[in-house]
Structure 1
């Protein structure tokens, strides 16, 4: 059985005449909104994925209007507590959604401390960083794919790289040190959020090792960044006893991008371009149930497809992105689920 999963940052999906965030002016007029819903609809039809995780949904009505007139209009949809003012995640599934949960609170208080060699001779207690909530609620959905497999799908949107600055500092006139501090503040938040995701994932695996997990998200960092690696998990050291390695491997996720890269001669994976830098901010991670080297795997990644022709490099192009077209590319992974009678070689 083949299934396909996708992640889709739609960039500020709200109905016409409505402001977003703390703005007062409408974000889209009627014509811009019509063009945006048509563009998203056509992109969804082109991708033809079975399960899609969305980011930057402001209103459920807007997303439903993107599905109108398509077979997806009758699919199962869940939007994570939309307010109309701030972006939330959503999931659309061809398969039944059994249960959903939106996690707003970080599962721990992050304590910071440094290496003793650096802080000596002073010995200070760990400092708690007062971050209590995810910047966007984590969406968890249990989906019944077939009579044998129910999978946990998690939709993420971590804090962006946009600098966090004091209210009296404008980004366009801020000094380089002020911008550096603002970017590091964003990194700290994104890093703590990634640790929170890692805690949620490990808790789910400890609860039910047999249940496969898919992560669909705009992680706002490159695939090799510490934040992404924190979510994926560390591979166990080679010298560890076999039973310990097997236990640890169950907590390690696979980036579909890496699996595709191992199969391809060239790698052109990017979903976002900023100041001429091509970045892979949007990713699909799968649990160890789909690892090639797992003799008990229940499926495998067939391929990964990118839909990024609309993403413009403004360093080399004079074209300007229309407001109704999202600034991120979409990612889709095709996965082959093994039948119960099949066995992995």
Structure 2
């Protein structure tokens, strides 16, 4: 498995400085086990054929050609090298990962990583590290780590300048503890043990996911304080924002602080859901409902998000951009055609358009 913790095409560093664009498109894209054969994901039977691989490549290329996002955060990347080549061919000279998938048994891979591609110059790249003291303060081990490394890219965007973009793939809802059927136990005892594992293991996943979000937001606040740069957080959250596990990402109030202090400073450090910002604009959006980004049996949910700092909020007096469009690409989920969508993804692709305010 190639080691490509930092992949970038050579291009002039000032490419984006003179781009007159009045809008910027940002996307989050879960690629669903993006892995080049002959590598397999999770077990030896899960290897794409050459035909399947090419079909997947074509599907991704077709989306990028049609919707032309300027910055894309990817999740579930096992093979960064072919992805880098694909996005370069689509006009993205900047591409990075900050981790690599784990390889077991020579060709079986696990632990996919996140990546970022941009048409605009990425001036800095880093893997975000959680604060050990804060982790310990909430009862976690001091060496707590994200289940998947979080990528922070500083991008030189038109008009707004340097902006910190964070790409995440928070812990899934898969229970941390699982009970294997034990023939030595009675049927009732097996059910009891399975129930206990599901309850405790599911809560363990929620604790991990919620802790990841909280500790990441704390690091974003610190980075914002030091740099003053706008912030974008995007990715597969593996949870709805309305769930209490992740609601702190949208914190916009502060207890035990004077109204003056809150009004003067808090807005600077808060994030807003791009969907909410789109709904709050003057666009005719009242009749539009938010599309799910994932389906599991009969359950549908929004798991993929783009959160923005106040520089992209039309209600903020000092903002330069506003969210002028919000699109969830889901044709492959609700009306799939095998010849076209057979090797696509199990997530909708979320794309927001940020337009320069008049």
TM-score normalised by length of structure 1: 0.82
Partner of 1:109: 135
How much has 1:325 moved relative to structure 2?
Answer: 1.8
C-alpha contact (below 8 Å) 1:142/1:151 kept by paired residues: yes
Equivalent pairs, count = 317
Residue among 306, 312, 318 paired with 1:284: 306
SS at match of 2:99: coil
Name the structure with the higher helix share.
2
- Give the 4+ runs in structure 1 shifted more than 6 A: none
CA distance in 2, matches of 1:150, 1:249: 19
Give the alignment partner of residue 326 of structure 1, picking from 341, 345, 348. Answer: 345
CA contact (8 A) 2:165 2:232 kept: yes
* Kept in 1: contact 2:322–2:356 (CA 8 A): yes
Shift in CA distance, 70/180, structure 1 to aligned 2, threshold 3 Å: same
Q: In 2 relative to 1, CA 246–225 (structure 1 residues): closer, same or farther, beyond 3 Å?
A: farther
Aligned residue among 63, 83, 89 for 2:83: 63
Could you tell me how far 1:183 is from its partner in structure 2?
Answer: 1.2
In the TM superposition, residue 32 of structure 1 has moved relative to its aligned partner by: 1.2
Matched, 1:54 2:79: no
TM-superposed CA distance for 1:252, in Å, is 1.0
**Are residues 1:41 and 2:54 paired?**
no
Structure 1 distance, partners of 2:276, 2:243, is 14
Are 1:99 and 2:117 matched, yes or no?
no
Q: How far has the Cα of 1:228 moved from its partner?
A: 3.0
Tell me the distance in 2 between the aligned counterparts of 1:283 and 1:42.
22
Distance (Å, rounded) in 2 between the aligned partners of 1:147 and 1:285:
19
RMSD: 3.0
- Gaps in structure 2 of 5+ consecutive residues: 1-21, 103-108, 183-189
Q: Which residue is 2:95 aligned to?
A: 77
* Alignment-derived partner of residue 226 in structure 1: 244
> 2:142, 2:48 → 1: CA distance?
36
The verdict on how the C-alpha distance between 1:106 and 1:164 changes in structure 2, with shifts beyond 3 A counting, is farther
**TM score, norm. by length of structure 2:** 0.80
Contact 1:150 1:212 in 2 (8 A): yes
Residue equivalent to 1:119: none
1:192: Cα distance to partner? 0.7
Cα-to-partner distance string for 1:143-175 (whole Å, 9 max, x where unaligned): 1113651111110110011112247469x9873
3-state SS in 1 of match to 2:148: strand
Alignment of 1:117-136 (within 5 A): 127-129=139-141, 132-136=144-148
CA distance in 2, matches of 1:68, 1:98: 17
The Cα shift of 1:179 comes to: 1.5
Q: Are 1:176 and 2:198 an aligned pair?
A: no
**Distance in 2 separating the partners of 1:9 and 1:41:** 14
> Residue 316 of structure 2 corresponds to which residue in structure 1?
294
User: How do 1:153-172 residues align onto structure 2 when only pairs under 5 Å count?
Assistant: 153-166=165-178, 168=180
Q: Structure 1: how far apart are the matches of 2:313 and 2:254?
A: 14
Distance 1:237 1:130, change over 3 A: closer
Of stretches 35-44 and 226-235 in structure 1, the one that deviates more from structure 2 is 226-235
Partner SS state of residue 72, structure 2: strand
Q: 2: distance between equivalents of 1:130 and 1:27?
A: 38
- CA contact 2:293–2:347 (8 Å) conserved in 1: yes
Q: 1:191 to 1:148 in 2, by over 3 A?
A: closer
Going from structure 1 to structure 2, the CA distance change for 1:136 and 1:104 (only over 3 Å counts) comes to farther
Deviations 1:261-309 (A, max 9, x none): 4433231321001121221100110001222321111211111111011
- Point out where structure 1 has 5 or more consecutive residues left out of the alignment: 113-126
Deviations 1:176-205 (A, max 9, x none): 332122211110100110111111111012
Equivalent position of 1:2 in the other structure: 23
What do the CA deviations read for 1:10-38 (whole angstroms, capped 9, x no partner)?
011110120224x2344212111111111
